[in-house]
Amino acid sequence: MVVPSWRVTVQWSPVRNSGVQPGGGFDGDVVLDAGPLTRQWSWLDPAIKVGGMAGVGYEVWGSGTRVVLVHGSLAVGPTEWEGQRPLAAQGYQLVVPTRRAYVPQSGTVGEDFLEDGQDLAELLGDGAHLVGHSYGGLAAMVAAAARPEAVHSLVLAEAPVFSVTAEHPDVVRLREQLETVSARAGSDREFLEGFLDAVGAPLEEFPPEVLDDLTTMVPALRLGRLAWRSDVPVESLLGAPFPTLVISGNHHAAFTAICDGLARVLGAQHRVVEGAGHDMQTMADAFNAALLDLWRGTG
């Protein structure tokens, strides 16, 4: 999740032989509107050959070694990863999908890291570095387990794998808070406010219009496969043939415990990027440096 710097609107048009027909017969363009600075992206880029990707939109930035960047909950891909765009000028092709539940008219109601992981496995192509933030990290783990031979490296930025430290008191407390929010919240706005409070994102930091935008995305989270109730196939990554880096923001005791546990179980490096809470990727200089250190070390 990031504080969006523009709003998302959708323009639909008749199918133009794109091979993608979300909602049964239409494809479309998503316009990220920042006033006079309007950027547009399409469902599929013909430079990337994929199959079975109906309902998934993505951008491609740059050329070179492929990198797949997977966004978290309450976000869309291009907004979340804007700080990583400069990496496209350093010999990397950044493939930036928006997961199914966040693509308007995709027909997907709630996010599901198992389904998303299968989509991502296709985007890996002949091989790619894979970076997943928050819920997107769960999907990245599924993709890496499905096609380990196509993964150059895996980065998990505060992926909420509750099972690796299930008995840690701070993790137990966070799970209980999230269950309370799920049980008691009435409207999507009430759910959003409770969720943000539980994960340590102060409401006062969000302008009203941003909260309005985030509220529209709540059903994707609320009606999806909830991370704190789900078993993530961590064991399938044990002994993986690629290096893994875990990144945390040192802002929430439960997330720190989860990242410590995940790094320990996977035998991964663990780096801390402070200053932006859960949205570590917005501290672009430090986050990108961590990525480059890993990628360049893979040869």
d(CA 276, CA 279): 5
pLDDT in tens, 250-296: 999 999 999 999 999 999 999 999 999 999 999 999 999 999 999 99
Nearest to 41 by CA among 73, 6, 90: 6
The pLDDT-based confidence of 118 (bands split at 50, 70, 90) is very high
pLDDT at 210 (0 to 100): 95
Task: Please say whether the beta carbons of 98 and 78 come within 8 A.
Answer: yes
pLDDT at 2 (0 to 100): 53
pLDDT at 52 (0 to 100): 41
> What mean pLDDT is predicted for residues 100-124?
93
d(CA 286, CA 257): 21
pLDDT at 29 (0 to 100): 34
Task: Please say whether the beta carbons of 174 and 198 come within 8 A.
Answer: yes
The pLDDT-based confidence of 41 (bands split at 50, 70, 90) is very low
DSSP bridge partners of 156? 132, 246
CATH fold, domain 45-165+225-297, is Rossmann fold (3.40.50)
pLDDT in tens, 205-230: 899 999 999 999 999 999 999 999 99
| pLDDT at residue 50 is higher than 70 | no
pTM of the predicted structure, to 2 decimals? 0.84
DSSP bridge partners of 30? 10, 41
Domain boundaries of the chain, sorted by first residue: 45-165+225-297
> What mean pLDDT is predicted for residues 63-91?
97
pLDDT at 105 (0 to 100): 74
pLDDT at 30 (0 to 100): 34
Helix axes 188-198, 169-184, angle to 10 degrees: 170
| pLDDT at residue 202 is higher than 90 | no
> What mean pLDDT is predicted for residues 239-243?
96
* Sheet of strand 128-133: strand arrangement: 57-61, 92-98, 65-70, 128-133, 151-157, 244-248, 269-272
